Amino acid sequence: MIPDWLAPLAAAAGSITGHDLSQYLPPEDGSGRPSAVLIAFAEGPDGPAVLLIERASDLRKHAGQVAFPGGSVDVTDASPTAAALREATEEVGLDAAGVVVLAALPDIFIPVTGFVVTPVLAWCPDVRDVGAVRAVDAGEVARVELVPLAELADPANRFQVAGPMGYIRPGFEVRGLFVWGFTAGLLDRLLELAGWARPWDETARRTLPPLPKYDTPVGTVD
């Protein structure tokens, strides 16, 4: 059983299209690097929450960025969903046996990196606080956080980010985490699709914090 607060998103998942999630869809020629992320929802100590990670600051790519657990689909993975669960286990120690997969959403594309990403929605009834998950490899993940959905939806925590390539996209600042790019874009769309969003000042602008010099200013899928 999933909680009542998650039911609207679970019900809507089957009708969500790629265009509902992003303006960038996978290339028609089938090119792109298959990958997947796990959008893991839980009942945290401060209410309904989503699991986010902050990547280590000295990674070659996406250093210090906030992300969903996830990564490339390996040849040994049975599906993108299997890849998302494997990556979540490897990155934050999530017990896949206790995860209820709700849906694999339509693939979307990150043009700069060439990743084709499958977002996988999941309910994690056994994750009640961050004690149930952890940064398995501190060299890869610096921090794991259950971010309350109410804080993501709070207008005081929302703004538009002026990105390094001239784009303007949604952003969030919650619990000391600056969320932008691919992750923030998906969170923005899911808040709307689930009916959790609240009106916010879409004219508010924030500048992207300085990136580590080896980082790539795009999304957060490795």
Tens of pLDDT, residue by residue over 88-102, are 999 999 999 999 999
Give 126's contacts (C-beta < 8 A, 6+ positions apart).
95, 98, 132
Confidence grade of residue 143 (pLDDT, cut at 50, 70, 90): very high
Rounded mean pLDDT of the chain? Answer: 90
Tell me which fold the domain 7-148 belongs to: Nucleoside Triphosphate Pyrophosphohydrolase (3.90.79)
> Hey, where are the domains in the chain?
7-148
Q: Residue 85 and residue 207: Cα distance in Å, rounded?
A: 33
The region, left, alpha or beta by phi > 0 then psi within -120 to 50, assigned to residue 45 is alpha
Q: 185: buried, middle or exposed (CB in 10 Å: 19+, 13-18, 0-12)?
A: buried
β-pairing, 177-179 vs 108-110, is: unpaired
Q: Which pLDDT score, from 0 to 100, does residue 63 have? A: 53
Q: Which pLDDT score, from 0 to 100, does residue 214 have? A: 42
Task: Compute the average pLDDT of residues 30-44.
Answer: 96
Q: Which pLDDT score, from 0 to 100, does residue 208 have? A: 87
pTM over 0.75: yes
Q: Which pLDDT score, from 0 to 100, does residue 215 have? A: 46
**SS3 per-residue string spanning 131-152:** HHCCCCCCCCEEEEEEEEHHHH
Q: Which pLDDT score, from 0 to 100, does residue 2 have? A: 96
Task: Compute the average pLDDT of residues 141-159.
Answer: 97
Confidence grade of residue 166 (pLDDT, cut at 50, 70, 90): confident
For residues 90-99, b (16+ Cβ closer than 10 Å) or e, as one string? ebbebeeeeb
Q: Residue 55 and residue 136: Cα distance in Å, rounded?
A: 12
Share of the chain above pLDDT 90, in %: 79
Residue with the bigger pLDDT between 210 and 196: it is 196
pLDDT at residue 16 is higher than 60: yes
Confidence grade of residue 162 (pLDDT, cut at 50, 70, 90): confident
Q: DSSP letter at 106?
A: P
Confidence grade of residue 60 (pLDDT, cut at 50, 70, 90): low
Tens of pLDDT, residue by residue over 68-86, are 999 999 999 999 999 999 9
Task: Compute the average pLDDT of residues 5-19.
Answer: 97
Q: Residue 164 and residue 161: Cα distance in Å, rounded?
A: 9
